[in-house]
Structure 1
Protein backbone atom coordinates (compact mmCIF):
# COMPACT_ATOMS: atom_id res chain seq x y z
CA UNK A 1 0.00 0.00 0.00
CA UNK A 2 1.12 3.56 -0.77
CA UNK A 3 -0.31 6.67 0.86
CA UNK A 4 0.40 10.34 0.12
CA UNK A 5 -1.14 13.71 0.92
CA UNK A 6 -1.04 16.01 -2.11
CA UNK A 7 -1.57 19.05 0.16
CA UNK A 8 1.20 18.14 2.65
CA UNK A 9 4.11 20.62 2.80
CA UNK A 10 2.70 22.49 -0.17
CA UNK A 11 4.81 25.47 -1.26
CA UNK A 12 4.87 27.64 -4.37
CA UNK A 13 7.75 29.37 -6.16
CA UNK A 14 7.31 32.59 -8.15
CA UNK A 15 9.95 31.58 -10.71
CA UNK A 16 9.14 27.96 -11.55
CA UNK A 17 6.80 25.04 -10.91
CA UNK A 18 7.81 22.81 -8.00
CA UNK A 19 7.81 19.06 -8.62
CA UNK A 20 7.32 16.47 -5.87
CA UNK A 21 7.19 12.71 -6.40
CA UNK A 22 4.34 11.53 -4.16
CA UNK A 23 5.04 7.83 -4.69
CA UNK A 24 5.78 5.12 -7.23
CA UNK A 25 3.96 1.85 -7.73
CA UNK A 26 4.83 -1.07 -9.97
CA UNK A 27 2.88 0.61 -12.81
CA UNK A 28 2.76 4.41 -12.20
CA UNK A 29 4.54 7.41 -10.77
CA UNK A 30 2.33 9.96 -9.02
CA UNK A 31 3.69 13.51 -9.06
CA UNK A 32 2.52 16.82 -7.62
CA UNK A 33 3.20 20.00 -9.58
CA UNK A 34 2.73 23.21 -7.58
CA UNK A 35 2.46 26.22 -9.87
CA UNK A 36 2.25 29.75 -8.54
CA UNK A 37 0.04 32.12 -10.53
CA UNK A 38 1.93 33.20 -13.67
CA UNK A 39 4.46 30.36 -13.74
CA UNK A 40 4.88 28.35 -16.92
CA UNK A 41 5.94 24.90 -18.02
CA UNK A 42 7.28 25.45 -21.52
CA UNK A 43 6.14 23.24 -24.41
CA UNK A 44 7.37 19.69 -23.98
CA UNK A 45 6.28 16.12 -24.69
CA UNK A 46 6.78 12.61 -23.41
CA UNK A 47 7.11 9.29 -25.15
CA UNK A 48 4.43 7.82 -22.90
CA UNK A 49 0.79 8.65 -22.13
CA UNK A 50 0.09 10.87 -19.10
CA UNK A 51 -2.90 11.83 -16.97
CA UNK A 52 -3.21 15.39 -15.63
CA UNK A 53 -5.66 16.30 -12.85
CA UNK A 54 -6.24 19.81 -11.52
CA UNK A 55 -6.56 19.38 -7.76
CA UNK A 56 -6.64 23.10 -6.94
CA UNK A 57 -6.60 26.30 -8.99
CA UNK A 58 -6.78 26.85 -12.74
CA UNK A 59 -4.35 26.53 -15.66
CA UNK A 60 -4.21 27.14 -19.37
CA UNK A 61 -3.20 23.85 -20.96
CA UNK A 62 -1.88 24.35 -24.48
CA UNK A 63 -2.15 21.37 -26.79
CA UNK A 64 -2.30 21.01 -30.59
CA UNK A 65 -2.85 24.74 -31.20
CA UNK A 66 -5.67 24.94 -28.66
CA UNK A 67 -5.68 26.35 -25.12
CA UNK A 68 -7.83 24.39 -22.71
CA UNK A 69 -9.11 26.17 -19.62
CA UNK A 70 -8.64 23.54 -16.91
CA UNK A 71 -9.83 24.24 -13.39
CA UNK A 72 -10.30 22.33 -10.17
CA UNK A 73 -11.65 18.84 -10.74
CA UNK A 74 -10.77 18.59 -14.45
CA UNK A 75 -8.82 15.55 -15.57
CA UNK A 76 -7.15 15.01 -18.93
CA UNK A 77 -5.49 12.01 -20.56
CA UNK A 78 -2.87 12.73 -23.20
CA UNK A 79 -1.11 10.31 -25.53
CA UNK A 80 2.65 10.22 -25.73
CA UNK A 81 4.38 12.38 -28.32
CA UNK A 82 1.88 15.25 -28.06
CA UNK A 83 3.50 18.65 -27.36
CA UNK A 84 1.83 20.59 -24.56
CA UNK A 85 2.48 23.50 -22.19
CA UNK A 86 0.98 24.82 -18.94
CA UNK A 87 0.45 28.33 -17.54
CA UNK A 88 -0.98 28.85 -14.05
CA UNK A 89 -3.85 31.36 -14.02
CA UNK A 90 -3.90 31.15 -10.22
CA UNK A 91 -1.96 29.20 -7.59
CA UNK A 92 -2.53 25.62 -8.74
CA UNK A 93 -1.88 22.06 -7.62
CA UNK A 94 -1.68 19.47 -10.38
CA UNK A 95 -1.50 15.71 -10.06
CA UNK A 96 0.49 14.12 -12.87
CA UNK A 97 0.40 10.38 -13.43
CA UNK A 98 3.26 8.89 -15.43
CA UNK A 99 3.73 5.31 -16.53
CA UNK A 100 6.47 3.44 -14.70
CA UNK A 101 8.59 3.62 -17.88
CA UNK A 102 8.59 7.42 -17.97
CA UNK A 103 11.42 9.37 -16.33
CA UNK A 104 10.53 11.64 -13.40
CA UNK A 105 13.66 13.72 -14.07
CA UNK A 106 12.16 14.71 -17.42
CA UNK A 107 9.38 16.55 -15.59
CA UNK A 108 11.88 18.22 -13.25
CA UNK A 109 14.00 19.29 -16.24
CA UNK A 110 10.98 20.87 -17.98
CA UNK A 111 10.09 22.82 -14.83
CA UNK A 112 13.65 24.20 -14.61
CA UNK A 113 13.72 25.68 -18.12
CA UNK A 114 14.20 29.43 -17.90
CA UNK A 115 11.76 31.59 -19.84
CA UNK A 116 13.39 34.69 -21.38
Structure 2
Protein backbone atom coordinates (compact mmCIF):
# COMPACT_ATOMS: atom_id res chain seq x y z
CA UNK A 1 0.00 0.00 0.00
CA UNK A 2 1.44 3.30 -1.10
CA UNK A 3 1.28 6.27 1.26
CA UNK A 4 0.22 9.28 -0.78
CA UNK A 5 -0.17 13.00 -0.07
CA UNK A 6 -1.57 15.64 -2.36
CA UNK A 7 0.73 18.12 -4.04
CA UNK A 8 0.61 21.84 -3.37
CA UNK A 9 -1.57 23.81 -5.80
CA UNK A 10 -2.38 27.52 -6.13
CA UNK A 11 -5.71 26.73 -4.44
CA UNK A 12 -4.07 24.76 -1.62
CA UNK A 13 -0.44 25.91 -1.39
CA UNK A 14 0.35 23.91 1.75
CA UNK A 15 -0.17 20.54 0.05
CA UNK A 16 0.94 17.57 2.10
CA UNK A 17 -2.56 16.46 3.07
CA UNK A 18 -2.69 12.65 3.27
CA UNK A 19 -5.07 11.15 0.71
CA UNK A 20 -3.96 7.50 0.89
CA UNK A 21 -2.49 5.60 3.83
CA UNK A 22 -3.02 2.33 5.67
CA UNK A 23 -5.68 4.19 7.65
CA UNK A 24 -7.01 7.73 7.55
CA UNK A 25 -9.27 9.54 9.99
CA UNK A 26 -11.33 12.13 8.13
CA UNK A 27 -13.25 15.06 9.62
CA UNK A 28 -16.10 15.85 7.21
CA UNK A 29 -17.21 18.98 9.07
CA UNK A 30 -13.65 20.39 9.02
CA UNK A 31 -13.45 19.57 5.30
CA UNK A 32 -16.68 21.49 4.67
CA UNK A 33 -15.21 24.47 6.54
CA UNK A 34 -12.09 24.24 4.37
CA UNK A 35 -14.18 24.18 1.18
CA UNK A 36 -16.20 27.26 2.14
CA UNK A 37 -13.10 29.18 3.28
CA UNK A 38 -11.39 28.87 -0.11
CA UNK A 39 -11.60 31.47 -2.86
CA UNK A 40 -12.98 28.89 -5.31
CA UNK A 41 -16.14 28.72 -3.17
CA UNK A 42 -16.51 32.50 -3.28
CA UNK A 43 -15.79 32.79 -7.01
CA UNK A 44 -17.63 29.76 -8.37
CA UNK A 45 -20.83 27.81 -7.87
CA UNK A 46 -18.91 24.83 -6.41
CA UNK A 47 -15.76 23.55 -4.77
CA UNK A 48 -14.47 20.10 -3.90
CA UNK A 49 -11.85 18.34 -1.83
CA UNK A 50 -10.44 14.86 -2.50
CA UNK A 51 -10.43 13.04 0.83
CA UNK A 52 -9.09 9.67 -0.34
CA UNK A 53 -7.59 8.46 -3.60
CA UNK A 54 -6.25 5.04 -4.54
CA UNK A 55 -6.21 2.97 -7.71
CA UNK A 56 -9.55 1.40 -6.80
CA UNK A 57 -11.40 3.94 -4.66
CA UNK A 58 -11.90 7.69 -4.63
CA UNK A 59 -13.80 9.76 -2.05
CA UNK A 60 -14.50 13.41 -2.84
CA UNK A 61 -16.42 15.97 -0.78
CA UNK A 62 -18.29 18.28 -3.14
CA UNK A 63 -19.99 21.53 -2.19
CA UNK A 64 -22.55 23.19 -4.46
CA UNK A 65 -24.19 26.57 -4.08
CA UNK A 66 -27.98 26.64 -4.53
CA UNK A 67 -28.89 26.22 -8.22
CA UNK A 68 -25.44 24.85 -9.14
CA UNK A 69 -25.55 21.93 -11.54
CA UNK A 70 -23.26 19.10 -12.54
CA UNK A 71 -24.36 18.48 -16.12
CA UNK A 72 -25.08 14.98 -17.41
CA UNK A 73 -22.00 12.77 -17.28
CA UNK A 74 -21.00 9.16 -16.59
CA UNK A 75 -18.54 7.46 -14.24
CA UNK A 76 -16.45 4.43 -15.12
CA UNK A 77 -17.07 2.77 -11.76
CA UNK A 78 -19.81 2.12 -9.24
CA UNK A 79 -20.56 5.31 -7.34
CA UNK A 80 -22.43 6.46 -4.30
CA UNK A 81 -23.59 9.96 -3.47
CA UNK A 82 -24.35 10.68 0.20
CA UNK A 83 -25.80 14.05 1.14
CA UNK A 84 -24.08 15.46 4.23
CA UNK A 85 -25.92 18.78 4.27
CA UNK A 86 -28.59 20.43 2.12
CA UNK A 87 -30.89 19.32 -0.68
CA UNK A 88 -30.27 18.29 -4.27
CA UNK A 89 -31.79 16.50 -7.22
CA UNK A 90 -30.03 13.46 -8.66
CA UNK A 91 -31.34 12.64 -12.13
CA UNK A 92 -30.74 9.45 -14.08
CA UNK A 93 -32.58 7.34 -16.64
CA UNK A 94 -35.54 9.71 -16.81
CA UNK A 95 -36.04 9.82 -13.04
CA UNK A 96 -35.23 12.59 -10.60
CA UNK A 97 -34.52 11.60 -7.02
CA UNK A 98 -34.85 14.32 -4.37
CA UNK A 99 -32.01 13.85 -1.90
CA UNK A 100 -31.72 15.64 1.44
CA UNK A 101 -29.36 15.38 4.41
CA UNK A 102 -28.73 11.72 5.20
CA UNK A 103 -30.06 10.40 1.87
CA UNK A 104 -27.91 8.37 -0.49
CA UNK A 105 -27.90 7.14 -4.11
CA UNK A 106 -25.91 4.26 -5.58
CA UNK A 107 -25.34 3.95 -9.31
CA UNK A 108 -23.74 1.27 -11.47
CA UNK A 109 -20.94 2.23 -13.92
CA UNK A 110 -21.51 4.18 -17.13
CA UNK A 111 -25.06 5.35 -16.41
CA UNK A 112 -25.65 8.99 -17.42
CA UNK A 113 -26.63 11.18 -14.48
CA UNK A 114 -26.74 14.81 -13.36
CA UNK A 115 -26.90 16.66 -10.05
CA UNK A 116 -28.49 20.01 -9.22
CA UNK A 117 -28.52 21.68 -5.82
CA UNK A 118 -31.82 23.13 -4.65
CA UNK A 119 -30.12 24.61 -1.57
CA UNK A 120 -26.48 24.93 -0.63
CA UNK A 121 -25.44 21.28 -0.49
CA UNK A 122 -22.45 19.16 0.45
CA UNK A 123 -22.15 15.52 -0.51
CA UNK A 124 -19.66 12.68 -0.49
CA UNK A 125 -18.98 11.12 -3.86
CA UNK A 126 -17.46 7.66 -3.53
CA UNK A 127 -16.25 6.02 -6.72
CA UNK A 128 -15.12 2.38 -6.79
CA UNK A 129 -13.20 1.39 -9.90
Which of the two has greater helix per residue?
2
Report whether the alignment pairs 1:10 with 2:35: yes
TM-score by structure 1 length?
0.78
- The runs of 5 or more residues in structure 1 that have no matched partner are 102-116
- How many angstroms apart in 2 are the aligned matches of 1:14 and 1:54? 23
Q: Bigger shift: 89-98 or 26-35? A: 26-35
- The runs of 5 or more residues in structure 2 that have no matched partner are 1-22
TM-score by structure 2 length?
0.71
| 8 A Cα contact 2:69 2:114, kept in partner | yes
| Number of equivalences | 100
RMSD: 1.7
1:71 maps to 100
2:90 maps to 61
Q: CA deviation at 1:24?
A: 2.7
Match of 1:87 among 116, 119, 123: 116
